[in-house]
Amino acid sequence: MLFRGIVAMEIVGMMYLFNAMFGLGILALPKAFADAGWLTSSVILALAMVMSYITVTFLIEVMASANARVVWNRKSDSYKENEIKLKENILVPEKRREEPTHQKTFYSELLSKCLCCCYLPDDPKPSVFDINELLSLTDLTKMYFNTVGDLLSRITLMLGIYGSLAMFLTMAPFSLAELFCNIPRCTGESNYTVIYLDENRCWGPISKSNAYRIFLAGFVFLIGPFVFFSIQKNKFIQILATTISFSVFCIIFVVAFHLLATGHGKGNPSLANFGALPNLFGACSLAAVSHATLPQIIPPIQNKAYLGFGIAIVFIVVGTLYALLSLTIMFTFENEKIQTIVLLNFLDCSVAPGVFFIYFLGLYTTFKVSAIFPLNAVTLRDNLWAMFSPFQCSHIWIVERLIFPILTILPPIVIAMVTENIEVIVGVTGSYAATIIQFVIPPLLVFFSRRDTHEKFGPSVHIKFASPFQHNLWIIIVIIFAVFALITVTILYITHQS
């Protein structure tokens, strides 16, 4: 029964979530593991994944409560309109027109009970807490935060997503230029150039810098138009990206296990190195950031009966892949030779079984960016629109369908065209913003949403899709974890600068 329920759940929706979580951060995780030691790394990764899962359940509960609040306001407005029409059409004595306070309270409680048709997650009946309304993260912050908190949350979200989009638009053309300007030959030596040199030539008179911009223009031309459509329009890209992700990491696992089985494994990882803890913690905390895109992923899923179980499975799969890949790489290559982007260790004919696999692995970054970029771009577009939705001009078709998508994609394109070295910008905005989006905003949202829901529907209300972590102690634990994360990221940044 459970298996049939999971199969019935929209698998494409879980692929969206998988691609949002299983990002490009996995490529840098093995290096962080090697520096910090296998035991310390395993514990910190498990802790980060558990905390991320808790905050995802928080955010899903907030989405359910927000849907109930939208339905509440809609029904309440309809009730008031009908009451006004009734009073206008029927002559009622003046004394009867004014309802006593206890009668108004009775109507409010009656409306609450009528609306609050809450069922168990596997109940097919509709519920006011069904997640059907497409609400962005800024809609949720506007709904439950005060003006200052809402503004700070919006700024954090915008900086984080803009930084991510700029990073994506840099990584894809950079990897393509490096791959196709350095034609790999099976000489036993790596042909991959880690340092970007503008004076290097690519094809005849075309420099590598110009080749980078050509690939950037091609990527924007092919992937950029998805920002003008809904998130469901790129589901085939999500399916393709998920298939390629599993294929790439299957190849990496097979090659690494083959090297270990044939006695060519040279790794001798340490047990623990607390000096590298900030770098490891920063990498692990960024490993499962899907919170900004989650409000766009969940509502289109038609069958949400086993939503919580499906998300738990995705977290287990992603966490297991993270740990297996990082530990395997640690024991396969010498620690000091593990590249910051682990795929560089496999772009070598002495490691990869042939040129085809070198190209396949080298193109993975582009494939992955092609899947992640539309998710983040559509999320930013929707949040930009939500920010300016109180202004009447934002509802004009040309503004909503053209101006906001252009404002979404244009700044990252400009940054990517001007420079391909944006590590400091992405490091500051991405690391801090990602930590706040992942570990600060969801627990605060769930705290205020629970209080609001109990006021409207009563303290005994059963919230559909409620987080299993109901005690306020979990909120405190996550906030403490967030403070620790921000401190470690700061230490990492200061150390890197010095």
Give domain limits for the chain: 1-72+129-185+199-497
CA distance 298 to 302: 9
417: Cα separation from own chain's centroid: 25
Q: What is the pLDDT of residue 474?
A: 94
Which one is predicted more confidently, 236 or 31?
31
Query: Are 59 and 294 a contacting pair, CB within 8 Å?
Result: yes
Q: What is the pLDDT of residue 380?
A: 84
Q: What is the pLDDT of residue 7?
A: 47
411: tokens are: 């700044």
Smallest CA-to-CA distance from 235 within 15, 443, 5 is with 15
451 burial type by CB count under 10 A (0-12 exposed, 13-18 middle, 19+ buried): exposed
Query: Are 326 and 48 a contacting pair, CB within 8 Å?
Result: no
81: tokens are: 């309109």
Q: What is the pLDDT of residue 238?
A: 65
CA distance 377 to 100: 52
Coil vs helix vs strand at 203: strand
Q: What is the pLDDT of residues 444-473, one digit of tens each?
A: 999 999 998 888 888 778 888 888 998 999
Q: What is the pLDDT of residue 124?
A: 44
Q: What is the pLDDT of residues 294-328, one digit of tens each?
A: 777 787 777 777 788 888 888 888 888 888 888 88
Q: What is the pLDDT of residue 80?
A: 55
- The pLDDT confidence band at residue 193, using thresholds 50, 70 and 90, is very low
Query: Are 370 and 172 a contacting pair, CB within 8 Å?
Result: yes
What single letter denotes the amino acid at residue 132? N
Q: What is the pLDDT of residues 383-409, one digit of tens each?
A: 788 777 777 676 777 777 788 888 888
Q: What is the pLDDT of residue 188?
A: 46
Burial readout 294-319 (b: 16 or more C-beta within 10 A, e: otherwise): bbbbbbbbeebbbbbebbeebbeebb
Could you tell me which residues come within 8 angstroms of residue 12 by beta carbon, excluding any fewer than 6 positions away? 235, 238, 239
320: Cα separation from own chain's centroid: 18
Query: Are 19 and 369 a contacting pair, CB within 8 Å?
Result: no
Q: What is the pLDDT of residues 44-98, one digit of tens each?
A: 888 888 998 999 999 999 998 988 888 877 766 555 555 555 455 544 444 444 4
User: H or E element: which one contains 364?
Assistant: helix 364-388
- The pLDDT confidence band at residue 186, using thresholds 50, 70 and 90, is low
Report the sign of the C-alpha dihedral through residues 324, 325, 326, 328, in that order: positive
Tell me what the mean pLDDT of segment 218-228 comes to. Answer: 85
Q: What percent of the chain is modeled with pLDDT above 70?
A: 73
CA distance 155 to 152: 5
User: H or E element: which one contains 207?
Assistant: strand 206-207
**CATH says 1-72+129-185+199-497 is which class?**
mainly alpha
Whole-angstrom CA distances from 386 to 140, 209, 290 are 10, 38, 19
348: tokens are: 């070598």
Half-sphere exposure of 150 (CA within 13 A, CB side): 15
Could you tell me which residues come within 8 angstroms of residue 267 by beta carbon, excluding any fewer than 6 positions away? 34, 329, 330, 331, 332, 333, 334, 335
Write down the mean pLDDT value for the chain: 75
Predicted confidence (pLDDT) at residue 13 exceeds the cutoff of 50? yes
- The pLDDT confidence band at residue 191, using thresholds 50, 70 and 90, is very low
Predicted confidence (pLDDT) at residue 175 exceeds the cutoff of 90? no
Q: What is the pLDDT of residues 87-138, one digit of tens each?
A: 555 444 444 444 455 444 444 444 444 444 443 344 444 577 878 877 878 8
131: Cα separation from own chain's centroid: 18
Q: What is the pLDDT of residues 326-377, one digit of tens each?
A: 888 888 888 777 876 677 777 777 777 777 777 888 788 887 788 778 878 8
Q: What percent of the chain is modeled with pLDDT above 90?
A: 7
